[in-house]
Amino acid sequence: MNKQLKDQLYTQAKEWVLEAGDHIRKHIDQPLKIDTKSDANDLVTEMDEQTEQYFAERINEHYPSHQLLGEEGFGDEVTALDGTIWIVDPIDGTMNFVHQKRNFAISVGIYHDGVGEIGLIYDVMADVLYTAKRGEGAFKNDRRLPDLQPSKDLATSILAVNTFWALKNKRVSEEGIHRLVQKVRGTRSFGSAALEFAFVAEGILDGYLTMSLMPWDVAAGIVIVNEVGGITTKADGEPVDMLKKNSILTCHPSIHEEIINEYVSLK
Ligand code: 2AM
Ligand code: CA
Ligand code: CA
Ligand code: CA
């Protein structure tokens, strides 16, 4: 993707993300229609749907040749990564949105021929926007995020894990996860994959490990984490497939192999 187009898309995406976030913030105290999806704790609200529709309408109008891959189904049936694809999670952390009214994000990744070119993660209530363009560094609002420290020990790392899958997932060695949780300095769980990626990029988390995320949960985060020297793979070390559900490890490069080889042995 040429620089001029990348800059134009970035500026446009940023404007839409901030506007959508502003709308959510203004309506945060209004009563919500809440539905469930795959199970009773898998929530979706009219705000998730409205926000995705907002992006779908604008992308269609301004970039009719682009595709949209979004969680709530207002985008396209994307079967290949050719061309330019907007990968959008309108609200990442819906449970936080409903219960906490904070700690949720709008996540927008723009990929071209399978390569992540632009990432935006907007922490709506905090009004903090994490962004990156491939090869141009990552930013928290207007401040450039420094590269991750040259090295990091697992014993002094803070790792975000989703405790639900850590306990329930039968594909992962429970014993390995127990040792990992004891090995690291501390664990956290924020409940928004996009924000957990942003925090890894910011260096306030050293890693985030989780079992089943969709492309819209990770598309923007991967671009942003890459720009500070972090690394993202599936939890078995294989490349992330942007068309499928993936296990995910995003982290400081010096703890990546150790976590995979010594703790997370997928069955
Ligand atoms: P969501 O809020 O957009 O659904 C919570 O740990 C994180 O996992 C959130 O980023 C959430 O995204 C994501 N997630 C993916 N699938 C989920 C599901 N079936 N139920 C709850 N959270 C899910
Ligand atoms: Ca969801
Ligand atoms: Ca999500
Ligand atoms: Ca979502």
Which residue among 102, 119, 144 closes a domain?
144
Residue 174 has pLDDT above 90, yes or no: no
Tell me, yes or no, whether 60 lies in a domain: yes
Q: For residue 238, give its domain range.
A: 154-262
pLDDT tier at 173, thresholds 50, 70, 90: confident
Tell me, yes or no, whether 125 lies in a domain: yes
Which residue among 105, 123, 144 closes a domain?
144
CATH code of residue 107: 3.30.540.10
Please say whether the beta carbons of 233 and 240 come within 8 A: yes
Give pLDDT tens digits for 14-36: 999 999 999 999 999 999 999 99
Same domain, 165 and 140: no
Give pLDDT tens digits for 180-220: 999 999 999 999 999 999 999 999 999 999 989 999 999 99
Q: Is 244 exposed, middle or buried (0-12, 13-18, 19+ CB in 10 A)?
A: exposed
Atom of ligand 1 nearest to the CA of 214: 15
Q: How far is CA 185 from CA 94, 152, 155, 177, in A?
A: 28, 12, 6, 14
Same domain, 184 and 253: yes
Same domain, 122 and 32: yes
Residue 4 has pLDDT above 80, yes or no: yes
Same domain, 196 and 69: no
Same domain, 104 and 125: yes
Tell me, yes or no, whether 232 lies in a domain: yes
Handedness of CA 53, 244, 42, 130 (dihedral sign): negative
Same domain, 51 and 11: yes
Give pLDDT tens digits for 67-124: 999 999 999 999 999 999 999 999 999 999 999 999 999 999 999 999 999 999 999 9
Q: Is 36 exposed, middle or buried (0-12, 13-18, 19+ CB in 10 A)?
A: exposed
Atom of ligand 1 nearest to the CA of 189: 6
* Structural domain count, the chain: 2
Phi-psi bin for 93: left (phi > 0), alpha (psi -120 to 50), beta?
left
How close is the Cα of 149 to the center of ligand 4, in Å? Answer: 31
- CB within 8 A of 2, min separation 6: which ones? none
Same domain, 138 and 158: no
What SS3 state is found at 19?
Answer: helix
Separation between Cα atoms, residue 199 and residue 206, nearest integer Å:
8
Q: Which ligand is nearest to the CA of 162?
A: 1
Same domain, 158 and 86: no
Residue 267 has pLDDT above 90, yes or no: no
Atom of ligand 1 nearest to the CA of 216: 3
Tell me, yes or no, whether 98 lies in a domain: yes
Tell me, yes or no, whether 267 lies in a domain: no
Separation between Cα atoms, residue 110 and residue 67, nearest integer Å:
10
Same domain, 130 and 222: no
Tell me, yes or no, whether 149 lies in a domain: no
CATH code of residue 181: 3.40.190.80
pLDDT tier at 223, thresholds 50, 70, 90: very high
Give pLDDT tens digits for 34-77: 999 999 999 999 999 999 999 999 999 999 999 999 999 999 99
Same domain, 137 and 8: yes
Q: Enter the pTM of the model.
A: 0.97
Same domain, 158 and 139: no
- The pocket around ligand 1, CB under 6 angstroms, is made up of 38, 42, 71, 89, 92-94, 162, 191-193, 213, 217
How close is the Cα of 150 to the center of ligand 3, in Å? Answer: 30
Same domain, 135 and 96: yes
Which residue among 102, 120, 144 closes a domain?
144
